[in-house]
Amino acid sequence: MAVTRLKRKDRRNKAVANNKVAAIKILKRRPIIKLVDVEEIKASFNK
């Protein structure tokens, strides 16, 4: 049997992988909140 590559499926698989990598990069780009004032947040709920 001859071996043929499924080019369309190969392109789709690569596109899915690239989209996942791009989504992870976008999520990593967001700044991490380091300084959180818990008391201020609690006070905002009591208003």
How many distinct structural domains can be found in the chain? 1
**pLDDT attached to residue 2:** 66
Tell me if 21 is assigned to some domain: yes
Alpha helix ranges (H) inside the chain: 7-29, 38-46
What integer is the mean pLDDT of 3-14? 88
Structural domain of 15:
8-46
- pTM for this model (two decimals): 0.50
**pLDDT attached to residue 1:** 61
**pLDDT attached to residue 25:** 94
Query: What is the longest distance spanned by two Cα atoms in the chain?
Result: 74
Eight-class DSSP state of 30:
S
Tell me if 2 is assigned to some domain: no
**pLDDT attached to residue 26:** 92
- 12 HSE (CA, 13 A, CB side): 5
Structure tokens at 1: 């049997």
pLDDT digits (tens, 9 = 90+) for 16-47: 999 999 999 998 888 877 788 888 888 888 76
The residue type at 42: K
Tell me if 15 is assigned to some domain: yes
